[in-house]
């Protein structure tokens, strides 16, 4: 094994003649996809055949984690190799936030770019855009992905439920008519477009909580906007638009090594899939969005096959945080859930300190290089930066990326051990630890936060008392055994403090 890796890193280290053999990397990053949402992870009420194909040709992780239970902090860690809780201003970003990652620091796309890769960001961004004054929607929207190491970008700024509802390609809003400038406000109403609170009769999908501000395409959003009519997206077409951009990027760069970060909007709210998926899952809008996501994955796989790139492309699939059923719209996801368990056997969901908040699907395929099967190795997305730097023989600034550890061997399936400690972040912090010969233990630090979110029907995992779970025997975190193991609680608390104060 060591020899194999040595050989790989030798030919990857930049010897020109081998340049075209460096593997491409496609990272498909779903939004709010749960541990139980895919048939390859045990879902029986919904079928995800394209993703199952990826799983059967590669490695499926049972203990892989996003760093946080919401989007912005997870993506921040993925891009920077630093836990988001180390930095202020890394919570869920409004749609007019400034870029929260400082240009110049080491980043995941930067690692690929310095290795000579073409690097594309397609889909959901949600890390802010523009300098301290915020994004200039009507001019050059920068700094953004291109200032952080991406060579191409086609993104939505924040989320599908936040204004402005427009795509941004490189530094420009797509299809913007300069005579109809975009205005955005997150404090008060701007312009005279109808809002969900004032004109509910104009909604094609009603909100359940929040989401009652400007109506765009019949859907109430978070934040107010006006202008940019020609640039507005149609939610129904979003998966098609992003998928065609992903395919276009792969086609354009088929002769060069490339890294594609394909961050889908599915299965986040508002769930307005294309009509060809509507009603197809029988599970309402969330199930239909899952089918749409599976289709998006299939299009990427097909493209790699068609161009003869599949063998030399690492394909990864994961999610930014766990699942939620009602995240603010009355889209029938709750009523039609039909026994589907988005979190599988895990407790909690998006926003939660329990496992379902951050433990997510992770698949990796690299024919001939990645072991085929299932891995128990603990993996954190914060390590991808160091993993790929190692694979490509690149250095990065460890001070910029203090939490990124090289776990390449675990990621490729050659090391069953993986990370010694996983840190989970949902407002409160938790750690998961598995020492040789011991069970997998989880410690959730005490917190005074709400224990339950009524709006989203989520057990948040907050408890003023320390919590300790034996995940080996109790994957559903049913039995808090902190009182029975005070020494272990103490040891894990100290371990967490050490990481916090690093």
Binding site for Ca ion (CB under 5 A): 31-32, 71, 320-321
The owner of tokens 């895990």 is 346
Question: Considering CB distances under 5 to 8 angstroms, the limit depending on partner class, which of Ca ion, ligand NG6, none binds residue 159?
Answer: ligand NG6
What's the closest the beta carbon of residue 60 comes to ligand NG6, in angstroms? Answer: 23
Residue closer to Ca ion (CB basis): 71 or 222: 71
Instruction: Please give the C-alpha separations between residue 353 and each of 66, 68, 86, 330, 408, in angstroms, as whole numbers.
Output: 12, 9, 17, 25, 27
Residue closer to Ca ion (CB basis): 327 or 403: 327
What's the closest the beta carbon of residue 355 comes to ligand NG6, in angstroms? Answer: 17
What's the closest the beta carbon of residue 95 comes to ligand NG6, in angstroms? Answer: 10
Residues lying near ligand NG6 in the complex (CB under 6 A): 31-32, 70-71, 92, 126, 159, 161, 209-211, 222, 268-269, 321, 327-328
Residue closer to ligand NG6 (CB basis): 155 or 314: 155
- Taking each helix axis from N to C end, the angle separating 49-56 and 284-306, rounded to the nearest 10 degrees, works out to 50
Residue closer to Ca ion (CB basis): 320 or 383: 320
CB closest to Ca ion, residue no: 71
Question: Considering CB distances under 5 to 8 angstroms, the limit depending on partner class, which of Ca ion, ligand NG6, none binds residue 92?
Answer: ligand NG6
CB atoms closer than 10 angstroms to residue 335: 12
Question: Considering CB distances under 5 to 8 angstroms, the limit depending on partner class, which of ligand NG6, Ca ion, none binds residue 405?
Answer: none
What's the closest the beta carbon of residue 32 comes to Ca ion, in angstroms? Answer: 4
Residue closer to ligand NG6 (CB basis): 284 or 413: 284
Question: Considering CB distances under 5 to 8 angstroms, the limit depending on partner class, which of Ca ion, ligand NG6, none binds residue 126?
Answer: ligand NG6
Residue closer to ligand NG6 (CB basis): 268 or 442: 268
H or E element at residue 495: helix 486-500
Instruction: Please give the C-alpha separations between residue 228 and each of 96, 167, 170, 191, 334, in angstroms, as whole numbers.
Output: 15, 11, 17, 12, 34
CB closest to ligand NG6, residue no: 210
CB atoms closer than 10 angstroms to residue 305: 11
Residue closer to ligand NG6 (CB basis): 85 or 388: 85
Residue closer to Ca ion (CB basis): 320 or 405: 320
What's the closest the beta carbon of residue 76 comes to Ca ion, in angstroms? Answer: 12
What's the closest the beta carbon of residue 265 comes to Ca ion, in angstroms? Answer: 10
Distance CA 129, CA 125 (A): 9
H or E element at residue 9: helix 2-12
Question: Considering CB distances under 5 to 8 angstroms, the limit depending on partner class, which of ligand NG6, Ca ion, none binds residue 331?
Answer: none
Q: Could you give the count of Cα atoms lying within 13 Å of 239 in the half-sphere of its Cβ?
A: 28
What's the closest the beta carbon of residue 210 comes to ligand NG6, in angstroms? Answer: 3
Strands 172-173 and 183-185: unpaired
Residue closer to ligand NG6 (CB basis): 301 or 324: 324
What's the closest the beta carbon of residue 75 comes to ligand NG6, in angstroms? Answer: 9
CA geometry: angle 284, 73, 48, nearest 5 deg:
30
The owner of tokens 């895919």 is 38
Residue closer to ligand NG6 (CB basis): 210 or 393: 210
Question: Considering CB distances under 5 to 8 angstroms, the limit depending on partner class, which of ligand NG6, Ca ion, none binds residue 477?
Answer: none
Instruction: Please give the C-alpha separations between residue 366 and each of 57, 59, 251, 370, in angstroms, as whole numbers.
Output: 8, 9, 19, 5
Distance CA 264, CA 268 (A): 9
For residue 16, give the 3-state DSSP assignment: helix
Q: What is the 3-state secondary structure (H, E, C) of 356-409?
A: HHCECCEEEECCCCCCCEEECCCEEHHHHHHHHHHHCCCCCCCCCCCCCCCCHH
What's the closest the beta carbon of residue 91 comes to ligand NG6, in angstroms? Answer: 9
Question: Considering CB distances under 5 to 8 angstroms, the limit depending on partner class, which of ligand NG6, Ca ion, none binds residue 459?
Answer: none
Question: Considering CB distances under 5 to 8 angstroms, the limit depending on partner class, which of Ca ion, ligand NG6, none binds residue 203?
Answer: none
Asked whether 91 and 155 are in contact (CB, 8 A), the reply is: no
Tokens of 24: 């491409």
Distance CA 298, CA 101 (A): 32
Question: Considering CB distances under 5 to 8 angstroms, the limit depending on partner class, which of Ca ion, ligand NG6, none binds residue 161?
Answer: ligand NG6
Distance CA 308, CA 499 (A): 44
Asked whether 379 and 407 are in contact (CB, 8 A), the reply is: yes
Question: Considering CB distances under 5 to 8 angstroms, the limit depending on partner class, which of Ca ion, ligand NG6, none binds residue 209?
Answer: ligand NG6
Tokens of 213: 């501000």
What's the closest the beta carbon of residue 195 comes to ligand NG6, in angstroms? Answer: 14
The owner of tokens 């992905």 is 145
């Amino acid at each position: 094994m060591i020899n194999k890796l040595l050989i790989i890193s030798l030919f990857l280290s930049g010897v020109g003649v081998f340049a075209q053999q460096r593997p491409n990397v496609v990272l498909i990053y779903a939004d709010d996809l749960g541990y139980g949402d895919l048939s390859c992870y045990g879902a029986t009420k919904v079928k995800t055949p394209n993703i199952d194909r990826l799983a059967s040709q590669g490695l499926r992780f049972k203990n892989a984690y996003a760093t946080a239970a919401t989007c912005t902090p997870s993506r921040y860690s993925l891009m920077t190799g630093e836990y988001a809780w180390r930095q202020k201003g890394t919570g869920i970003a409004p749609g007019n936030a400034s870029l929260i990652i400082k240009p110049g620091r080491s980043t995941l796309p930067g690692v690929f770019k310095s290795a000579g890769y073409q690097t594309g960001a397609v889909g959901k961004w949600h890390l802010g855009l523009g300098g301290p004054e915020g994004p200039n929607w009507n001019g050059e929207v920068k700094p953004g992905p291109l200032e952080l190491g991406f060579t191409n970008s086609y993104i939505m700024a924040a989320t599908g439920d936040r204004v402005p509802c427009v795509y941004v390609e490189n530094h420009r809003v797509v299809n913007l008519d300069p005579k109809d400038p975009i205005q955005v406000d997150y404090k008060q109403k701007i312009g005279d477009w109808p809002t969900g609170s004032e004109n509910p009769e104009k909604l094609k999908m009603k909100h359940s909580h929040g989401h009652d501000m400007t109506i765009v395409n019949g859907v109430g959003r978070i934040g107010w906007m006006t202008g940019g009519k020609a640039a507005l997206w149609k939610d129904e077409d979003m998966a098609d638009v992003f998928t065609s951009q992903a395919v276009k990027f792969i086609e354009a760069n088929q002769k060069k090594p490339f890294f594609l970060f394909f961050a889908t909007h599915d299965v986040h709210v508002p769930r307005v899939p294309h009509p060809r998926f509507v009603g197809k899952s029988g599970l309402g809008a969330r199930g239909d969005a899952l089918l749409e996501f599976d289709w998006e994955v299939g299009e990427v796989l097909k493209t790699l096959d068609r161009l003869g790139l599949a063998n030399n492309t690492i394909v990864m699939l994961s999610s930014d945080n766990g699942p939620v059923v009602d995240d603010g719209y009355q889209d029938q996801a709750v009523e039609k859930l039909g026994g589907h368990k988005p979190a599988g056997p895990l407790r909690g969901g998006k926003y939660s300190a329990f496992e379902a908040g951050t433990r997510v699907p992770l698949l990796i395929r690299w024919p001939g290089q990645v072991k085929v099967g299932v891995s128990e190795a603990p993996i954190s997305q914060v390590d991808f930066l160091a993993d790929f730097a190692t694979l490509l023989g690149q250095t990065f600034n460890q001070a910029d990326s203090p939490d990124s550890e090289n776990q390449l061997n675990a990621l490729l399936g050659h090391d069953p051990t993986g990370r010694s400690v996983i840190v989970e972040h949902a407002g409160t912090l938790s750690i998961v630890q598995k020492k040789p010969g011991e069970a997998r233990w989880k410690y959730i630090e005490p917190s005074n936060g709400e224990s339950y979110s009524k709006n989203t029907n989520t057990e948040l995992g907050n408890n003023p008392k320390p919590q300790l779970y034996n995940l080996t025997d109790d994957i559903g975190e049913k039995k808090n055994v902190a009182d029975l193991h005070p020494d272990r609680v103490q040891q894990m608390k100290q371990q967490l403090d050490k990481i916090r104060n690093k």
